[in-house]
Structure 1
Amino acid sequence: MFSKSSSFFEESFISLLLVSMTLLVFTEVVARFLFNVGFLWLEEVTLTLGAWFVLFGASYGVKVGAHIGVDAFVQALPEKARKLTAVTAVILCLCYCSLFLYGSWVYLAKMYSIGITMEDIYLPQIFIELFDEDTLWDIFRIDAEEPLMPLWISQSILFIGFILLFYRFFQLLLQVLSGKASGFKFADEAEESMHLIQEDEQADIHSEKNATSDNAQSNDDQTEEKR
């Protein structure tokens, strides 16, 4: 139940990010070329959403096997060697995520301590009115007189995204060690292409059968009319 709810949330969130980026870019293009009007904040929002989309989607890609990989050499190895290779690869991925987790934490901590803000995105006034000036600065690093979005909030996906990636790789490591998985799941373009071809062939055969059946029925009807 939790797995289904988690997958639904992830898919919905990724779809929302993609749709939002598409609408923002479309709005910017229409406004700029048809009405000669530009919105400075649109580009910054789109870039931020793009970063969230990529890093959030990367962890989901590990979960569903959407990443493309070449495993011809690994598949040629004996079973024990394949398992050892898979465990080694996952551990290296965990080390990679750990390095980026540390780096992103240090980076966000500096952004927070300095109080750097985004250039064109302002926070809504209704949010500013919820807190006094000291609280806004001490907790969120927001200047009440010029309430620009703090950079540490928009770029927190660096830390969140690699936490999710670390979690997915750790899940995969447990599955490999327990024998529930043999290694990484990859998107096999050749296999998908063959599957699509088979579906097209089955659809053609089904269409031919329907056409033959319709022709036979039409001939029967004509024979009945002649009688």
Structure 2
Amino acid sequence: MVANYTRQLEEGVLSFLLVFMTLLVFIEVVLRFGFNTGIHWAQEVTLHASAWFVLFGASYGVKVGAHIGVDAVIRLLTPKVKRIVSIVAVLLCLAYCALILMGAWVYLAKVYKIGLFMEDTPTPAVFLWLIPEDLQWDLFKIDPEEPLLPMWFAHGPLLIGFILLGYRFLEVFKKLATGEWHSMHMADEAKEALEEAGIDAEIISDEEDENRMKEGAK
């Protein structure tokens, strides 16, 4: 139940960001070319919303196996060797996530300490209404006189996104280590094309694995 709720939450956030970006760009184009005006913060918000979409979508892509992998060499290996190579690849991915997380933490800490703001994007009025004025600067780094959105908030998904990505890679590592998976699950365009043609790609893949195991035994 929790997993289903989490999946729906992830898909809801991604759907919202995609719809929000699309509508914002559409409105901005209509205003600019139809009425010779525009929303001065639209470009900045769209840029950051697209970054949020990519950061959150990366972890979701690992979860559902939507990332495209170059596995021409991996397919030639036996299932045992394939699993070992996949484990090494996941460990490298985890190391990369750890490096980015350390850098993101240092960056966001400095941005928060200095108190940098976005250039055009205002802080949503609901935040200003909910946060007491004496805490706006001390806790959230919001300037009451010029309440632009704090940069640490706008860039915060850099940290959150890679935490989620690292968690997804840990899930993949667990499945590989326990033998539940023999390789990382990636998007397979060739497999999808075979399935569209009515050919069971799983049977072909299983037969190839059995042949490689026999050859390895010899």
- TM-score range, shorter-chain basis? 0.7 to 0.9
Instruction: Determine the structure 2 residue equivalent to 1:34.
Output: 34
Deviation >6 Å, runs of 4+: none
Is the helix fraction higher in 1 or 2? 1
The Cα of 1:181 is off from its aligned counterpart by 1.2
1:186 aligns with 2:206: no
Higher Cα Rg, which structure: 1
Unpaired segments of 5 or more residues in structure 1?
200-227
Instruction: Determine the structure 2 residue equivalent to 1:111.
Output: 111
The Cα of 1:131 is off from its aligned counterpart by 4.0
Equivalent residue runs for 1:1-80 within 5 Å: 1-80=1-80
The Cα of 1:80 is off from its aligned counterpart by 2.0
Instruction: Determine the structure 1 residue equivalent to 2:154.
Output: 154
**The 10-residue stretch of structure 1 (134-143 or 157-166) with the greater mean CA deviation from structure 2:** 134-143
The answer on whether the counterparts of 1:133 and 1:143 sit within 8 Å (CA) in structure 2 is: no
Structure 1 residues 144-167: Cα deviation after superposition (integer angstroms, max 9, x where no partner): 111110000011010000000000
The Cα of 1:91 is off from its aligned counterpart by 0.4
Give the aligned length: 199
The answer on whether the counterparts of 1:24 and 1:42 sit within 8 Å (CA) in structure 2 is: yes
Structure 1 residues 16-56: Cα deviation after superposition (integer angstroms, max 9, x where no partner): 11011000011111111111112111111111110110010
Structure 1 residues 43-86: Cα deviation after superposition (integer angstroms, max 9, x where no partner): 11111110110010000000001000121211211222111101
1:144 aligns with 2:136: no
Identical positions, percent: 52
In structure 2, relative to structure 1, the CA distance for the partners of 1:197 and 1:77 (3 Å cut) is: closer
Partner of 1:120, secondary structure, is strand
Q: Distance in 1 between matches of 2:76 and 2:35?
A: 60
Partner of 2:184, secondary structure, is coil
Structure 1 residues 70-115: Cα deviation after superposition (integer angstroms, max 9, x where no partner): 2121121122211110110000000000000000000100110010
The Cα of 1:135 is off from its aligned counterpart by 1.5
The answer on whether the counterparts of 2:83 and 2:181 sit within 8 Å (CA) in structure 1 is: no
The Cα of 1:132 is off from its aligned counterpart by 4.3
Q: Distance in 2 between matches of 1:148 and 1:141?
A: 10
In structure 2, relative to structure 1, the CA distance for the partners of 1:9 and 1:125 (3 Å cut) is: closer
The Cα of 1:127 is off from its aligned counterpart by 3.0
Partner of 2:137, secondary structure, is helix
Q: Distance in 1 between matches of 2:127 and 2:52?
A: 22
CA-based RMSD: 1.5
Partner of 2:142, secondary structure, is coil
The Cα of 1:129 is off from its aligned counterpart by 4.2
